[in-house]
């Protein structure tokens, strides 16, 4: 009965989005390129006559940097030892995936992610396509996996994306979390937000996605998993595209699976 009560709201939401096409997205991208929008940032320079203080701060910064490198090296060693039992810490993930939008479009999203202990590198191509047009976005993210304990893993990422329409590049930052209750199931949640590199307050893309993974076959250092989930993207604070997603995850681990 509760689901039936939610049905009118769901149908109203679908109806409100049904008028949005990929052509609308391309038009919005070209309209909102940084070259067509005024920049609202300025620059200033502050000199300092206190050379001794500047030299002291430089020395302290170098010391802090050295201490940080030592701590990060120790963390890498610790995670490398754990990867013998938890193969997601040092591995390469290749994800062919696709999504279907209830408003009549599809999204292809091939992705490669290299996990190197506390650091990860993510390259992703998104292609939204309907019968009349397509929209492409390439994104690159550097992740810091700042929590790698037990069944939970949390990370924060910085990077950028590039739209084919308008040829614009944007700064992008993200948060992600993984929950691994057993060797047979893994959950992943990510939220992404971007902004203009020119200082504009416009948000070119906001996205949240959820994935559930289940391994199909494991042999040596290779594992094949299937996953499904849902993604919701908002472009330029006005155009929303939601998809039901599915795909495969090919994982090459630095340690043999057990």
**Each residue of 178-231: pLDDT tens digit?**
999 988 999 999 999 998 766 566 788 999 999 999 999 999 999 999 999 999
The residues, any chain, with a CB within 8 Å of residue 177's CB and separated by 6 or more, are 152, 153, 154, 155, 188, 189, 190
Q: Give the mean model confidence (pLDDT) for residues 41-60.
A: 60
pLDDT at position 181 is: 93
Of 238, 183, 236, 234, the C-alpha closest to 37 is: 236
| 38 token code pair | 């005024």
pLDDT surpasses 70 at 177: yes
- The pLDDT tens digits of the residues spanning 12-29 come to 444 445 557 777 777 777
98: β partners: 108, 246
For the residues of 113-161, what is the DSSP string, one character each? EEEETTEEEEEEEEEEE-SS-EEEEEEEEEEEEEEEETTEEEEEEEEEE
Of 243, 236, 238, the C-alpha closest to 109 is: 243
Structural domains of the chain ordered from first start: 83-253 (2.40.160)
* Secondary element (H or E) of residue 192: strand 185-196
pLDDT at position 35 is: 54
Percent of the chain whose predicted confidence (pLDDT) is above 90? 48
User: 10 or 27: whose pLDDT is higher?
Assistant: 27
In the block, which residue shows the tokens 């938890």? 86
Mean pLDDT rounded to a whole number for the chain: 82
């Amino acid at each position: 009965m509760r689901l039936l009560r939610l049905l009118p709201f769901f149908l109203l939401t679908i109806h409100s989005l049904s008028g949005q096409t990929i052509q609308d997205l391309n038009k919005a991208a070209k309209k909102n390129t940084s070259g067509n929008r005024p920049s609202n940032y300025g620059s200033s320079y502050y000199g300092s006559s206190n050379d001794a203080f500047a030299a002291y701060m430089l020395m302290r910064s170098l010391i802090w940097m050295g201490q940080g490198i030592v701590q990060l090296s120790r963390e890498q060693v610790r995670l490398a030892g754990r990867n013998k039992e938890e193969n997601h810490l040092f591995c390469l993930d290749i994800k062919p995936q696709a999504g279907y939008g209830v408003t009549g479009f599809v999204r292809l999203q091939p992705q490669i992610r290299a996990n190197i202990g506390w650091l990860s590198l993510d390259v992703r191509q998104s292609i939204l396509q309907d019968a009349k047009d397509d929209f492409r976005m390439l994104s690159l993210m550097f992740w810091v996996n700042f929590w790698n304990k037990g069944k939970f893993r949390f990370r924060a990422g910085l990077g950028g994306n590039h739209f084919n329409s308008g040829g614009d590049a944007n700064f992008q930052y993200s948060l992600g979390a993984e929950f691994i209750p057993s060797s047979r199931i893994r959950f992943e949640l990510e939220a992404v937000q971007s902004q203009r590199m020119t200082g504009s307050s416009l948000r070119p893309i906001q996205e949240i996605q959820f994935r559930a993974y289940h391994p199909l076959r494991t042999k040596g250092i290779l594992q094949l998993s299937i996953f499904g989930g849902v993604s919701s993207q908002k472009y330029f604070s006005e155009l929303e595209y939601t998809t039901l997603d599915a795909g495969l995850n090919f994982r090459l681990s630095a340690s043999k699976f057990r």
